[in-house]
Structure 1
Amino acid sequence: MNPRAVLVFGEALADLVPEDGRGERYQCVLGGSGFNTALALARCGASVAYCATLSHDVTGRRFQARLVAEAIDRRFIAESDAPTPLAVVAPLGADGGARYHFHLAGTALAEPPPLPRSLTGFGHLHVTSFGATVGPSGDAALTLLRQARSAGLSTSYDVNIRPPALPDREAALAAIEQRMALSDLIRLSTDDADWLYPGGYVAPLRRWFDRGVSAILLTEGDRGAALERPGSETVRGFVPVAELVDTIGAGDSFIGAFLASLAQAGELGASLRGLSDGAAASAMGFAAEVAAETCGRRGCDPPRLTPKPPYQ
């Protein structure tokens, strides 16, 4: 097993991003939480493979070409005659935040990729968003999480809640918590946390430590991010955004860079369950830097940066 290699499972979407404030002109950029995270990992120097189903259409071919260009392992990519799923981004507000309208029915997302027969060669599995939570793709992600735990990999789950892509609240909450229970690391935003546990999310989140979760990474928008571990002090990461374009993919870039930093430090696999203070601090600082640069670019276009060695 290579403790530094990461397998990513999650959706690839075509993001239609507005180029003006009225929504009259749009740019089609490659996105989706799974693809974005794999891209950030690769650009930060990690060894990464991506597991997803991609369309044969022109956008699907763009995804394939980008995976090749970024040297992302495509062994677990399936191909489909169905079209690429689509996310239309509403005109952005002053905070650069994105609201999405999804077109998912009848697309390649409905056809989950065949799962790896073996996870030999990987130290960590990361699953993300609604592509790992609901439908046939969500079922495949759940199976893969169980397979990874049995094989001794560390696991992480990016909740990344998008209500328009989820079933009713009760069913969605049950599916999300089922995947949280199989994860060593959970990543979520404050909006995600408010949706999960309205009226106060701090105590309900910390109870997950009693269920075996090793770390919770909470991204807090323009306030940065906080990493909580049982019995340890909170580790924060913050880098100001020099010029805000949009926040699309900022959370994906953050978790991708965070995992890339841990991979370089040898802190994935069994080590993630006892993450050192130095590796945690270094990873949070690096991830904040990558996410800030991503916010200065249209869509999810993370920079090419090398993680720094862990703080001593």
Structure 2
Amino acid sequence: MGDFIPRDADGRHYEAVLGGSGFNAALALARFGAKPTYAGPLSTDALGRRFRAALMAEGIGMALIHDSPLPTAVAIVSPLGPDGVPEFALHLAGTAHAEPNGTPRHMPPSAVHLHAASFGATVGPSGEAVTSLAASARHQGATISYDINIRASVLPERDLVLPLIEARIGQVDIVKASLDDLSWLYPGEPADKIARRWHGLGARLVLVTRGPDGAVCYGPEGALAATAPPVVVVDTVGAGDTFIGGFLAVLAARGRLGPGLKDATGEDLRAALAFACEAAADSCTRPGCDPPRRQAEQV
């Protein structure tokens, strides 16, 4: 997805940057020393060619990309409001995002982890494909993470979306959501109560990001919290994707994805949480999703 980012406060000038939750998370994972492969449709248009060049430059695997003649989907990002949270106007109809066969339905045998994100992993043909892909991952012993990343403008009403999201949570090991996601899904309910609900559905780890207040990981050892370092925020686009990329990269470096997740200690989770918060904060100091280059194995 191409993100059109405002370059001034009144939105008169925009810059097209590469984005989309899946691409952003893959970018973060690669910069943190992991070896991700991007899976899904990419247009053959000018923006799609930019995506391919970026994936190649970052060393991200491209064997699971589906070439699409349809144009790249775009998101028009609003200038930041008083709350510092951007709004997205998504343009998806007739784009590569809507390719019915764009997402693979089977995991490569060598893969140890699957990450799925946002509305594309929840609704429509791509959501159905992710259901099959997650079942394939589970069958071969890979772990699965899911970033809910609500985009209300392209989702059906909450009562229709919630059962789909909870069904997806029932397939995964790690689920990530922001406080805004939780407020949209479960108005007025506290995060710890929601985490218990999701544990009951099958998730082992529940990650809740809290903006400038850091994040909490609800897991077998209870709630673990990490703070975010203070930074001067340019924008928050891709901060959540950088966060989950950082968290997964640390677990991967420690052998805690795939079968090793069950052996993850509190120290593993604290290290992953702290690294993720620091990386996400750093990304907020630059426009678009631009994760820092740090090696997760050094944590």
**TM-score, L = length of structure 1:** 0.92
Aligned to 1:59: 47
Q: 1:278 aligns with which of 267, 279, 288?
A: 267
Cα deviation, 1:141-181, whole Å, max 9, x if unaligned, reads 11111111111111111000110111222221121111111
> Mean alpha-carbon deviation: is it higher for 174-183 or for 239-248?
239-248
Q: 2:249 aligns with which of 260, 275, 294?
A: 260
Tell me if structure 2 keeps the 8 A contact 1:216–1:229.
Answer: yes
Look up the SS of the partner of 1:146 in the other structure.
helix
**TM-score, L = length of structure 2:** 0.96
Structure 1 segments, 4+ long, off by >6 Å, are none
Report deviation, 1:114.
Answer: 4.9
Cα deviation, 1:6-27, whole Å, max 9, x if unaligned, reads xxxxxxx110110111110001
The runs of 5 or more residues in structure 1 that have no matched partner are 1-12
* Number of matched pairs: 297
Tell me if structure 1 keeps the 8 A contact 2:116–2:145.
Answer: yes
Aligned to 1:304: 293
Q: 2:161 aligns with which of 168, 172, 186?
A: 172
Aligned to 2:62: 74
Instruction: State the distance in 1 between where 2:194 and 2:236 align.
Output: 27
Q: 2:121 aligns with which of 108, 128, 132?
A: 132
Q: 1:105 aligns with which of 93, 102, 118?
A: 93
Give 2:36's aligned amino acid.
V
Give 1:77's aligned amino acid.
I
Report deviation, 1:118.
Answer: 4.5
Aligned to 2:188: 199
Report deviation, 1:41.
Answer: 0.2
Matched, 1:152 2:106: no
After the TM superposition, which residues 198-237 of structure 1 pair with which residues of structure 2 at under 5 Å, given as runs? 198-201=187-190, 202-230=192-220, 232-237=221-226
% identical aligned pairs: 46
Aligned to 1:26: 14
The runs of 5 or more residues in structure 2 that have no matched partner are none
Aligned to 1:96: 84
Look up the SS of the partner of 1:149 in the other structure.
helix
Tell me if structure 2 keeps the 8 A contact 1:57–1:84.
Answer: yes
Q: 1:44 aligns with which of 11, 32, 37?
A: 32
Instruction: State the distance in 1 between where 2:44 and 2:276 align.
Output: 33
Residues 292/81 of structure 1: CA separation in 2 closer, same or farther (3 Å cut) = same
